Structure 1
Amino acid sequence: MTAKSFASTGDMAAKTVSFTEIGPDLYAYTAEGDPNSGIIVGDDGCMVIDAQATPAMAEDVIARVRTVTDKPIKYVVLSHYHAVRVLGASAYQAQGIIASNATYDLIVERGEQDKASEIGRFPRLFRGESSIPEGLTWPTLTFESGMSVFLGKREVKLFHLGAGHTAGDIVAWVPDAEVMFTGDLVEYHSACYCGDAHLREWPQTLDSILDFQPKAIAPGRGDALQGDQAVREAVAMTRDFVNTLYGAAELSVARGRSLKETFAATREVMDPKFGNFAIYEHCLPFNVSRAFDEASGIDHPVIWTAERDRDMWAQLQG
Structure 2
Amino acid sequence: MINVITARIGRHHIAAASIGLAAFCAGPVGASEDIADQYPQSELYSKPVEVIPHVFSAIGATAPPTYENAGHNNNLSFIVTDEGVVVINAGASARLAAALHEEIRRVTDQPVVLVINENGQGHAMLGNSYWRDQGVDILAHVDAVAETEENGDFILQGMQRYNRDKAEGTRVEHANLTFEEGYDLSLGGVEIKVLHLGPAHDPGDLQVWIPAWEIMITGDIAFHERMLPIFEDTCTSCWLETWTEKLEPLAPTYVIPGHGHPTNFAQVRRYTHDYLVDLREKIGAHIEEGGDLAGAYYVDQSRWAHLDTFEELATKNAGRVFAEMEWE
Give the 3 Å change call, closer, same or farther, for CA 248–118 of structure 1 in structure 2: farther
* CA distance in structure 1 between the partners assigned to 2:59 and 2:308 by the alignment: 13
Contact map agreement 1:192 1:242 (CA 8 A) in 2: no
SS of 2:203's equivalent in the other structure is coil
* CA distance in structure 2 between the partners assigned to 1:127 and 1:22 by the alignment: 32
Q: Which structure has the higher relative contact order (CA within 8 Å, separation 6+)?
A: 1
Give deviations 1:86-136, integer Å, cap 9, x for gaps: 11222233521111122222333444445556766xx36x88123322xx3
* CA distance in structure 2 between the partners assigned to 1:84 and 1:202 by the alignment: 21
Number of aligned residue pairs: 275
* CA distance in structure 1 between the partners assigned to 2:234 and 2:157 by the alignment: 19
Give the 3 Å change call, closer, same or farther, for CA 258–57 of structure 1 in structure 2: farther
Contact map agreement 1:158 1:170 (CA 8 A) in 2: yes
**Paired letter, 2:275:** F
* CA distance in structure 2 between the partners assigned to 1:119 and 1:52 by the alignment: 14
1:130 aligned residue (136, 160, 168)? 168
**1:150 aligned to 2:186?**
yes
Give deviations 1:2-42, integer Å, cap 9, x for gaps: xxxxxxxxx88523225222222111221342311111112
* CA distance in structure 2 between the partners assigned to 1:160 and 1:27 by the alignment: 22
In structure 2, what is the equivalent of residue 284 of structure 1?
Answer: 314
Give the 3 Å change call, closer, same or farther, for CA 32–106 of structure 1 in structure 2: closer
* RMSD value, Cα: 2.5
* CA distance in structure 2 between the partners assigned to 1:296 and 1:118 by the alignment: 34
Give deviations 1:231-267, integer Å, cap 9, x for gaps: 22222221122222333333444545443321122xx
1:68 aligned residue (101, 107, 119)? 107
Gaps of 5+ in 1: 1-10, 299-318
Contact map agreement 2:130 2:170 (CA 8 A) in 1: no
Gaps of 5+ in 2: 1-32, 39-45, 63-72
In structure 1, what is the equivalent of residue 54 of structure 2?
Answer: 25
2:237 aligned residue (190, 196, 200)? 200
TM-score for the superposition, normalised by structure 2: 0.75
**Paired letter, 2:201:** H
Contact map agreement 1:148 1:156 (CA 8 A) in 2: yes
In structure 2, what is the equivalent of residue 105 of structure 1?
Answer: 146
Give the 3 Å change call, closer, same or farther, for CA 257–214 of structure 1 in structure 2: same
Give the 3 Å change call, closer, same or farther, for CA 112–257 of structure 1 in structure 2: farther
Give deviations 1:30-78, integer Å, cap 9, x for gaps: 1342311111112221111112211222233223222211211111111
* CA distance in structure 2 between the partners assigned to 1:56 and 1:167 by the alignment: 26
In structure 2, what is the equivalent of residue 35 of structure 1?
Answer: 74
Contact map agreement 2:240 2:273 (CA 8 A) in 1: yes
* CA distance in structure 2 between the partners assigned to 1:256 and 1:105 by the alignment: 38
Which of 190-199 and 107-116 deviates more? 107-116
Bigger strand share: 1
Give the 3 Å change call, closer, same or farther, for CA 66–244 of structure 1 in structure 2: same
Contact map agreement 1:167 1:198 (CA 8 A) in 2: no
SS of 2:95's equivalent in the other structure is helix
SS of 1:264's equivalent in the other structure is coil
Give the 3 Å change call, closer, same or farther, for CA 60–243 of structure 1 in structure 2: farther
Contact map agreement 1:18 1:31 (CA 8 A) in 2: no
TM-score for the superposition, normalised by structure 1: 0.77
How far residue 294 of structure 1 moved from its aligned partner, in angstroms, is 1.5
Contact map agreement 1:76 1:94 (CA 8 A) in 2: no
Which of 25-34 and 158-167 deviates more? 25-34
Give deviations 1:201-238, integer Å, cap 9, x for gaps: 2123223223223221110111112xxxx322222221
1:15 aligned residue (28, 34, 37)? 37
**1:212 aligned to 2:253?**
no
